[in-house]
Amino acid sequence: MHSLPMQPLNLKVDSVALSFGDRYILRDVYLDCKQGEIVGLLGRNGCGKSCLLKIIFGTLTPQYKYVSINDQYIRRGFIDTRIAYLPQHNYLPRGMRVDQLARTLVAEKHWDEFAASPAYIMHGQKQTDKLSGGELRQLEMLMILYSNADFILLDEPFTHVSPVQSDVFKQQLRKAAKTKGIIVTDHQYYNIVDVSDRIILIDNGYTRHLSDPEELVRYGYLSRM
């Protein structure tokens, strides 16, 4: 059974500023995520949620950012093995067998647990292009969750996923969060509200740390809960 270290790691993202021309997307953005919690990131389409995850991972360069793990500066998250990222689009190569890909992505210490998952048992011998969108998305997320990374960034993990699969996803996220920190965003806000320990709303370029999901109505993200 895995457990958190004596002093859980803390990922901090501070003073993020991003603009395209004269249009500011993110202004002085701050968020943090500790091992053992799920942080939900919400906001209207085009508000910068995906941009923020890419900035943390290091694949998008803003005007300014400060990303650290336990106060150690992280220049590029994709080089640091402590951070893993699930993009909006499918990342597994087409035409390759799931089990071959899993062997390169899943941490050895997590292999038995990953291999026991129903999704892998059902589809491990198949090629990726033989899977439905939901099946592929579930396997992609599992491989990220069972990687060596301490922090997981998930961009639209519920895309192409049925309500039943969404419930399974949330169980898997909660299980992974016992040892990892997870930042997740999705346009299906109800899944984010349901699975997250904390909610952060991007509103007019700023991050608003909510103490209650009802504040999503106050800030105009929802008309009602």
Q: How far is CA 128 from CA 79, 96, 117, 140, in A?
A: 26, 6, 17, 10
Pairing of strands 151-155, 10-20: unpaired
**Contact assessment for residue 180 and residue 151, using Cβ atoms and an 8 Å cutoff:** yes
Share of residues in the chain with pLDDT > 70 (%): 97
Q: How far apart are CA 161 and CA 107, in angstroms?
A: 25
Q: How far apart are CA 26 and CA 1, in angstroms?
A: 40
Q: What is the pLDDT of residue 142?
A: 95
Q: What is the CA radius of gyration of the chain?
A: 17
Q: What is the pLDDT of residue 76?
A: 83
3-state secondary structure of 141: helix
pLDDT in tens, 103-150: 999 999 999 999 999 999 999 999 999 999 889 999 999 999 999 999
Is pLDDT at 6 greater than 80 in this prediction?
no
Closest by CA position to 92, among listed 77, 83, 102, 107? 102
Is pLDDT at 3 greater than 80 in this prediction?
no
Q: What is the pLDDT of residue 99?
A: 96
- Catalogue all structural domains in the chain, each as residue range(s) with its CATH number: 38-60+76-218 (3.40.50.300)
pLDDT in tens, 179-208: 999 999 999 999 999 999 999 999 999 999
pLDDT in tens, 37-75: 999 999 999 999 999 999 999 999 999 999 999 999 998
